[in-house]
Structure 1
Amino acid sequence: MTRLRYLTAGESHGPQLTTIIEGIPSGLTLVDDDINLDLARRQMGYGRGGRMLIEKDTVAILSGVRWGKTIGSPITLGIQNRDWENWQEKMSPHPRHRDDRIRVTRSRPGHADLPGAMKYNHTDVRNILERSSARETAVRVAVGAVAKALLAQFDVTVSGFVTELAGVRAERKNLPLTALRELATKSELFTYDADAELKMKEEIDRVKESGDTVGGVIEVVVTNVPPGLGSHVQWDRKLDSRLAMALMSIQAIKGVEIGSGFDAARNPGSKVHDEIYYDSARVAHGAQSGFYRKTNNSGGIEGGISNGEDIVVRAAMKPIPTLYKPLKSVDIVTKEPFEATVERSDTCAVPAAAVVAEAVVAIEIANAFLEKFGGDSIEEIERNFGSYIEYLRSF
């Protein structure tokens, strides 16, 4: 069974972020521009902070690709931290550069600072905050761009939107997904409702003036997913559980729902479960199967398995915990109360989280796709996929 797996490494103010991806087949077209596009999107969005002016993320493909094609070996990607020149001694691996005068001992509420320091026995919180920082998501976006390139070979698309911000909800117009994506592309907040966007910006400006932050809700939609990804047979093979874990791994995400999500608990079963229909003519028009549903409350997943409908997942992002109006905390060394240390931060990073959510969802869908149709080359996967689709059309 082919598996896609990856590890990331690097600190927020270290020399670079690095990832090694294993399981990408040979023959996939991949150039740095494909990845840099999503890296740039991650740094956009109304309400971002000063670091976005410093970092202009670009990727270096260091292994696994030759002449624009993957070769089947592990792919190494690197993203340099351009602020490293100001941190070379502060983050140096060499003991001669140790300087306890610059220790960070004031843990910030809402961060990994205090529990991380307790767990790893550190009296310098920087040893925790450098890795727990959302800066790490840049390299996961790079992995997601590779996953999206693989899925695009099979016409599977992954789209992220901001559907709510600071309590302002976007109204989803009755438009095709391609039109919604076009609207979101033109939006500074990656939403498809221009009227709601104006109100969202007003809220961002208001809380910024008061030194506060805002959160929101993001939605990811995956189209053209064949039925049969994931499995019901083990808890860790269920596609919805894997997507939920991936989304919850994003910094500041505190809730996940699939399909109608929590609304399903508020309605009777007759209004929740998607009735099943069959029309053989659908296959003649290019559909993968004659089976279909008129509603999609399940979010494209039933029993841990994709059912052929669009996969729809949402995630709730809490407000960024680094405030310019610091909250109260305690020095981990002196135990004296202080106002929490302020690190460079954003007022709103919900649009960036939508890009990160796209990435982690794409990674999990690509992983499930490779498990189902895996091979060592794109051509082999295409044969496996084509054979399965023919089987579905006659099922």
Structure 2
Amino acid sequence: MNIITSGESHGYGFYGIIEGFPSHFRIDTERINNRLRLRQSVFGRGERMKIEDDKVEIKTGLWNGETTGSPMTFFIPNKSLTPPNERTSIPRPGHADLGGMMKFDFDDTRVITERASARRTVMDVAIGEFARQVLESLGIKVYGFTKGIGGIETDLMANAEPEIGAHPLLCPDTRVEEQMIEIINEAYKEGYTLGGKVTVVVRGMPVGIGTFAQRQKRLTSIIGKAIFDIPSVKGVIFGDENIWKVKGYEGVDDIFEGLKRKTNHAGGIEGGMTNGQDIVINLVAKPISTQKRGVKSVDLDTMKESETTYIRSDTCVVGAIVIVATAVVATAIMNELIDSFGGFTFEDLKGNFSSYRRRIDEFRR
């Protein structure tokens, strides 16, 4: 299966093409749109979220609501078609501006910003919610939650994704979440941004998905590559974040009768393959670099020191990253399962996968 996306922050919109997906899977488009709304509504987002009304249109690859086996084209239109600023030759530290301008020979940061903008993750979420529907049909659940923001962190492990109505930051710990909201409000008033931690959980994967045979096909490599494509993500740890602090024999997940485990330090992956436990992924996101406070840079027109100007930005995108991260993880796993188990129709895929599950279950006996 192959997936490609295109589009700019203030262009006509964003496109996503999925090639190689089997036929006869029914897509719930409204579920995708609900997920897109959730991406916009988590606490800490900025003014741009009030402008857009993100809804997906599936232009090709469907017949009576079911996939046909031909390439699917997803499209999300932009309402804001004009960049909010005039030409600027002052690259923003922490962004793709300077490297992109030098590499592609442009004198206007907007040319680079239009594609480098995190707004492109809107299509990642649309495709990822489609992938979550596919995985749920195979008995696999993917969800996430906010673990920490700005140095405040919860020890709770959520068993499901928190409801936005009760948890505006998608943090399962109400007391800690209230503290997070307080420091985000303070950051907004003072004109700076905040980063944090997100946890993604994949439940229901059988043993042996992925491989140890090639480094690029290890499941850690596949998932890690997908997560590192999310703007602001600076670190990924599978499983126990404190594994480096313990003795070797304390950091392994002992195997007991019935091939059961009592711990999950490995985060569900050993040797590049699933081990049957929940896949647990902890990721760290930096504070976004665009903020009300100007930062030091150089005006490329004059090559003299200058200061960046503020346009608009989020104060904290950690809650939104929960949505984006679950999406890209779901997409990566869907891709791996289709590549591994194939099938021209979704029933073929489902049958092949079910057969593998049965064989794994028989091995346990």
* Range of TM-score over shorter length: over 0.9
Q: How does 1:170-319 map to 2 (within 5 A)?
A: 170-172=154-156, 177-178=159-160, 181-182=161-162, 186-261=166-241, 263-279=242-258, 291-319=259-287
Counterpart CA distance in 2 for 1:238 and 1:142 is: 25
On the 8 A contact 1:171/1:196 being kept in 2, the answer is no
Post-superposition Cα deviations, 1:280-319, rounded to whole Å, max 9, x if no partner, equal xxxxxxxxxxx22111110000000011100000111100
1:132-159 Cα shifts (integer Å, max 9, x gaps): 0000000011110111111011120100
Distance 1:172 1:185, change over 3 A: farther
Q: How does 1:1-395 map to 2 (within 5 A)?
A: 4-84=1-81, 86=82, 102-172=86-156, 177-178=159-160, 181-182=161-162, 186-261=166-241, 263-279=242-258, 291-395=259-363
- Structure 1 contact 161–184 (Cα < 8 Å) conserved: no
> Which range moved further: 148-157 or 182-191?
182-191
Which whole-Å deviations, capped at 9, do the CAs of 1:347-370 have from their partners, x for residues lacking one? 111100110000110011111211
Q: What is the count of residue pairs matched by the alignment?
A: 363
Distance in 1 between residues matched to 2:358 and 2:141, nearest whole Å: 21
- Normalised by the length of structure 2, the TM-score is 0.96
Gaps of 5+ in 1: 91-100, 280-290
Whether the aligned pair in 2 keeps the contact of 1:44 and 1:351 (CA below 8 Å) is no
Deviation at 1:341, TM superposition (A): 2.3
Residue pair 2:202, 2:280 contacting (<8 A) in 1 also: yes
* Deviation string, structure 1 residues 31-62 (Cα, Å, up to 9, x no partner): 32121111111112112110010011000110
Aligned structure 1 segments of 4 or more residues deviating by more than 2 angstroms: 181-186
- 3-state secondary structure, aligned to 1:362: helix
Unmatched runs of 5 consecutive residues or more in structure 2: none
CA contact (8 A) 2:162 2:171 kept: no
The TM-score normalised by the length of structure 1 is 0.89
Q: Kindly report the root-mean-square deviation, in angstroms, between the aligned alpha carbons of the 2 structures.
A: 1.6
Q: Distance in 2 between matches of 1:230 and 1:251?
A: 25
